[in-house]
Amino acid sequence: MKKKNRNFIAKDLFSLKYKKRVVRAKKGKGSFKRKKG
């Protein structure tokens, strides 16, 4: 249950941050990869 909960939160956060960052990262993919790494 703990693993599923963590995945759910991570997915929600990823979706929100991903959508916002993807639009901004479209111009600078290097910055996006650097922040994730």
Cβ-in-10-Å burial (0-12, 13-18, 19+) of 18 comes to middle
Decide: pTM greater than 0.85: no
Other Cβ atoms less than 10 A from the Cβ of 21: the count is 15
Number of domains observed in the structure of the chain: 1
| pLDDT score for 25 | 53
CA–CA distance, 6 with 21 (Å, rounded to integer): 21
Tell me if residue 2 falls in helix, strand or coil: helix
pLDDT given for residue 1 in this prediction? 57
Instruction: Output the pLDDT for position 11.
Output: 74
Domain that holds residue 6: 2-36
**Per-10-residue mean pLDDT for the chain, 37 residues long?**
69 68 57 57
